[in-house]
Amino acid sequence: MPEKIYISGIGAISSIGVNVPELLASIRSSRHGIQHIVHLDTSHRGNLPVGEVKLSNEQLAERIQTEKASNFSRTTLLGIVAAREAVAHAGIDIQDGLKTGIISSTSVGGIDKTENFFKKFFADPTSGRLRNITSHDCGDSTENIAVDLGVYHYISTISTACSSSANAIMTGARLIRHKILDRVIVGGTDALTKYTLNGFNALKILDTGHCKPFDQNRNGLNLGEGAAYLVLESEKSLKQRNAEPICYLSGYGNANDAYHQTASSPEGNGAYSAMEIALKQSTFLPGDIDYVNVHGTATYVNDLSEGTAMSKLFSEGMPRFSSTKSFTGHTLAAAGSIEAVISVLSIKNNFIAPNLNFQSSIEGLNMVPVQELQENIEIRNILSNSFGFGGNCSALVISAL
């Protein structure tokens, strides 16, 4: 049997909390973070609600107390906050001799800095800070987080749209299984920008109210921002430092239906294949899954496609499911890791988060998500879905020890 991949630490920042305890408290009180825009400078303020982190860049920089923080993109700032929390929670010493890597993911990178540059540059071609342009690349945030943590054995960045951080988790697991690393800090970070807000609005898939995942009358998604990281460890790593894991990653799968650049296939082929691969690797049957943290963006195409795939996979009985994007908004590249953190919390604390704003089932599917917080439930195995543009579909199975 392949070596188990253990999860020993988690960290997160999102619109429902600047750390994991706050995130957990928000879910337990069914308190979402979808509000009007405060920090992003955009003409859509007051029109498009988002899941914005409730701290400005200056407050984030003050929080991490790093000399170069004032030059960091918001994506980097969010990532450092979450990654530090994950490492502290795991209790690892990066310099203890074990091979440690980081795989971080992002979609927007440092686009916020680039937007600030061009606003000044277009007004006056002799103005604008060129150093802002150097933050544009997706790898910039990863490198800054790695330097902050002191990680140097392995550093990599993944950008596969909304499946990015799920793929970062999968890649980290592979590196451990192939003995390349002893432990890996994996996850993703993305900030709200004009580019993403205008882009998704141009696609006409943003809801002007609160999103309604898996509802017949869903109108689109709410964009969000945030970051989350998990510490994956080998058994060797845990034994050497005499540490206890929280749970483990029992399976993962990635597939691509290559149907459309921005839409899922109507039959849910990619979603079905990713879930099937993840289940097969975990050695569990569909009936062993206690809960599915669905991708659930609340767009017309995605929810119908994912629901169709789930109906096929769980033909003998649908497990409980919900979309936690109704709490955080769609955090793009960070979505998979934020939802993986929520899944870990669900196993550890025996709860299932509600799918907020649901009223009626999608016609033809007859699927009803969990609508109220469910507690004191033993949860052994969770399937967490993350599906990205271009048909890139990923699924994780997270299991109790």
Average pLDDT over residues 143-166: 96
Say yes or no: 205 and 350 in one domain: no
Please give the helix or strand (H or E) that residue 394 lies within, else none. strand 392-399
- Give the pLDDT mean for 4-17: 98
User: Could you say which of 194, 221, 240 is where a domain stops?
Assistant: 240
- The Cα–Cα gap between 142 and 78 comes to 11
Nearest CA to 222 out of 248, 201, 247, 193 is that of: 201
Do 153 and 182 reside in the same domain of the chain?
A: yes
pLDDT tens profile 190-223: 999 999 999 999 999 999 999 999 999 999 999 9
Lowest mean pLDDT among 95-109, 127-141, 144-158, 171-185: 127-141
Annotated active-site residue 330? The verdict is: yes
Residue 1 predicted with pLDDT over 70: no
- Same domain? 352 vs 391: yes
Distance CA 380, CA 80 (A): 31
Residue 383 has φ and ψ, to the nearest 5°, of: -100, 125
Query: How does the average pLDDT of the chain come out, rounded?
Result: 94
Is residue 191 located within the same domain as residue 210? Answer: yes
User: Under DSSP, is residue 116 helix (H, G, I), strand (E, B) or coil?
Assistant: helix
Q: Which of 32, 39, 44, 295 is catalytic?
A: 295
Q: Which residue out of 32, 44, 162, 393 is catalytically annotated?
A: 162
Mean pLDDT of 159-180: 96
Does 129 have pLDDT greater than 90? Answer: no
Is 162 known to be catalytic? yes
Name the token pair of 382: 């969770």
- Residues 225 and 276 grouped into a single domain: no
Residue 235 parent element (H or E): helix 235-240
CATH number at residue 329: 3.40.47.10
Show which of 240, 266, 283 is a domain's final residue: 240
Q: What is the pLDDT of residues 243-277, one digit of tens each?
A: 999 999 999 999 988 877 767 787 889 999 999 99
What's CA 316's distance to the chain center, in Å? 29
- Residue 397: the pLDDT is 98
Could you tell me if 214 and 267 lie in one domain?
A: no
| Same-domain status, 158 and 293 | no
Res. 121: pLDDT tops 80 = no
| 44-90 tens-digit pLDDT | 999 999 999 999 999 999 999 987 888 899 999 999 999 999 999 99
Q: 283 with 214, same domain? A: no
Same domain? For 146 and 27 the reply is yes
User: Any catalytic annotation for residue 295?
Assistant: yes
Residues 233 and 255 in one domain: no
Q: Is the pLDDT of residue 126 over 80?
A: no
Question: Both 15 and 142 in a single domain?
Answer: yes
- Percentage of the chain beyond pLDDT 90 is 86
How far apart CA 313 and CA 40 sit, in angstroms, is 40
Domain boundary among 193, 219, 240: 240
Nearest to residue 201, comparing CAs of 334, 304, 339, 49?
49
- Count of structural domains within the chain: 2
Note down the domain range covering 357.
249-399
Please indicate, yes or no, whether residues 146 and 207 belong to a single structural domain of this protein: yes
Q: Show the tokens assigned to 123.
A: 């007004």
Instruction: Tell me the per-residue pLDDT of 306-343, one tens digit each, with 9 for 90 and over.
Output: 999 999 999 999 999 999 999 999 999 999 999 999 99
